[in-house]
Every structure is written in C-alpha cells, then in structure tokens.
C-alpha cells in the first residue's frame, strides 16, 4: 500500500516504531493489531511535565517525540498521532471528548479530561479506539450498548444511558459495590472508567485541557510523574518513587510494587521504555486535590 506522508511524518517509520508488520488496510483486524502494537510499544507517560519540557499540541512535534525520540505521551498526543496513522491507512476517524472517573477522588473529571477516537468501518459499524489511557482496554471496543468484551487485561463494556456513553470495567481493582459511581448487578461490579458523547472535536478544542493537565493540582498528570506500558501478559509502570509490575493470568490481576531511588530512575526508564529524558526529572507522587467545577477550564 502506498502512503501519502505528511511533510516529515513518515508512515513506515511510525510502523517500525510500534513494531508493526501486519496488514495496512482499513479493516477491524488491522485496527486491532495496530492498537495492540501501539500499546505494547509506546508508553503512556507525562514526564515532560516533570522535567521542564513544554507539551505543545503540534503534530510534527508529537511525531518527533514519539517516533524519533522513542518517547510516549498523554492522550492528547498519542491518540491524535494514532488518528493520523489510521487516516493514512484509509480509516474514517474523529476525535471525541471524555470525562475520566478518577479512582483517587471517586468522581468524574471535567469534560475534555480525556481524548479518544471513534473509528467508522466500511461495514457501518463504529469502534472506540484509545492508545492514550494508561490502564484502558487493549483491543478496540465496538460502539454497542452492554456487550461484554473479555480481554487479556480485563473485561470491558460500553453502556449507553440518556445519550451518554460509559466505558466500564468489570470488578476493576476489587472495589466494593457501594463505591460511588459503580454499577453492581448479579454480584458483578462494573467500575466506571470514563464517560463520553459522540460530538466530534477538533484537536485545538483540547488545548485548554492540555494546559490544565500540566498545571492543575486536580489533574493526575500534574500530581504524579508516571510512565506505563503494556507488555504481553501485564504492564510495567513507574510512578513517583515506585515501580509497579502488573501480571494478568487466568482472568486475575496481580500487582507488586517496589521502591526506586532517584539515581535508579533514569536507568529504569532507559532499560524498560527505551528513552533518556532531556533534563533532570523531578519525581512527584502527590494526592490529587478536589476542585469545584467552576475551577475547570472552559471548553469551547
């Protein structure tokens, strides 16, 4: 397949970055393989915020960061870049806005707290794709109400309620049924992860929220230095002064945590994520503060 590259953005270099050697047609099988390849190659990370780098929503800059410098990024970077890749392969993609359910505060964040992708297939079916949510679904989800999707890293579903879609995960983290926002049914506990509608957004619509994520004490990305990547049967995560290893086996999740020193962090990032930061990382792991809704940036 011939690709129409955009300026210095090269599709083949991107595919090499995510170790992808599969088909390049706008099909669900291709989308699934690309999705997994991306999640297992490119980390969700916010370390730019904690080492003095500006995060600018500019496609060539994001491409350079992820492809040439082997970095990761947060949702506004990774999902926009992935959307560009899908567009080059002939997929129909739009950006949509979500509000994340934060387990730390047990409430939803502001609109635009997360950006994800809605992909339309030639069959007319629509699929939710997301390579910028550190602990989300590994395979894309069909936009269908109430369908259980059992994956390596958990069981997920989309639920439609009064025009709003909810992405939920079954028995995630073992929360009790009375946890605010959880939907308990027949002994199962569906834990909310984020909610969204299908209104198409422009990338610039997320500019204010990108700044909010970088500076607000109510935003996870500001409060915690974080880098996380899926691996075949688990996930490896750096956060603050901890390393968290997650293993998925027989439908169960096992997590172990160990401390890491400031001196060990650069070597750990290089060995496990394949990059070196341009300047000193200021590690951070502070509680996320709750704020009133009128303190959130205005969404246009």
In a domain, 84, yes or no: no
Residue 269 counted as domain residue:
yes
Q: Is residue 85 part of a domain?
A: no
pLDDT range class, residue 184, cuts 50, 70, 90: very low
Q: What is the pLDDT of residues 21-75, one digit of tens each?
A: 999 999 999 999 999 999 999 999 999 999 999 899 999 999 999 999 999 999 9
Q: Is 270 domain-assigned?
A: yes
Indicate whether 240 belongs to any domain.
Answer: yes
In a domain, 176, yes or no: no
Q: Cα separations (Å) of 164 from 130, 198, 199, 216?
A: 18, 8, 11, 26
- Is there a domain that residue 46 lies in? no
Let me know if residue 247 belongs to a domain. yes
Residues catalogued as catalytic: 75, 114, 130
- For the chain, the domain total comes to 1
Its domain, for residue 244, covers 218-295
* pLDDT tens track for 63-116: 999 999 999 999 999 999 999 999 999 999 999 999 999 887 788 999 999 999
Quote the pLDDT of residue 268.
98
What CATH number did the domain enclosing 235 receive? 3.30.1120
Give the model's pLDDT for residue 103.
80
Alpha carbon distance 176, 249 (integer Å): 22
Out of 122-131, 159-168, 185-194, which region has the weakest mean confidence (pLDDT)?
185-194
């Amino acid at each position: 397949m011939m690709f129409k590259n955009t300026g210095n953005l090269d599709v083949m270099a991107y595919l090499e970055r995510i170790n992808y050697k599969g088909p390049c047609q706008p099909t669900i099988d291709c989308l699934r393989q690309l999705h997994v390849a991306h999640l297992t190659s490119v980390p969700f990370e916010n370390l730019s915020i904690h080492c003095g780098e500006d995060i600018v929503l500019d496609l060539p800059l994001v491409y350079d960061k992820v492809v040439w410098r082997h970095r990761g990024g947060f949702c506004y970077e990774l999902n926009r870049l992935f959307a560009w890749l899908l567009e080059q392969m002939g997929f129909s993609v739009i950006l949509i806005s979500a509000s994340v359910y934060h387990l730390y505060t047990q409430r939803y964040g502001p609109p635009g707290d997360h950006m994800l992708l809605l992909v339309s297939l030639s069959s007319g079916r629509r699929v939710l794709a997301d390579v910028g949510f550190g602990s989300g679904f590994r395979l894309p989800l069909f936009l269908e109400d109430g369908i259980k999707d059992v994956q390596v890293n958990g069981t997920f579903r989309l639920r439609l309620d009064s025009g709003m879609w909810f992405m939920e995960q079954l028995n995630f983290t073992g929360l009790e049924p009375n946890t605010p926002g959880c939907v308990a049914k027949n002994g199962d506990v569906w834990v909310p992860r984020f909610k969204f509608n299908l209104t198409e957004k422009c990338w610039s619509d997320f500019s204010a929220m990108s700044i909010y994520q970088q500076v607000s004490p109510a935003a996870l990305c500001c409060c915690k230095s974080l880098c996380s990547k899926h691996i075949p049967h688990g996930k490896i995560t750096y956060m603050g002064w901890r390393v968290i290893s997650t293993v998925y086996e027989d439908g169960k999740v096992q997590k172990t945590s160990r401390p890491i020193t400031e001196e060990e962090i650069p070597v750990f990032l290089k060995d496990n994520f394949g990059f070196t930061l341009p300047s000193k990382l200021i590690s951070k792991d502070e509680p996320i503060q709750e704020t009133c809704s009128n303190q959130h940036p205005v969404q246009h």
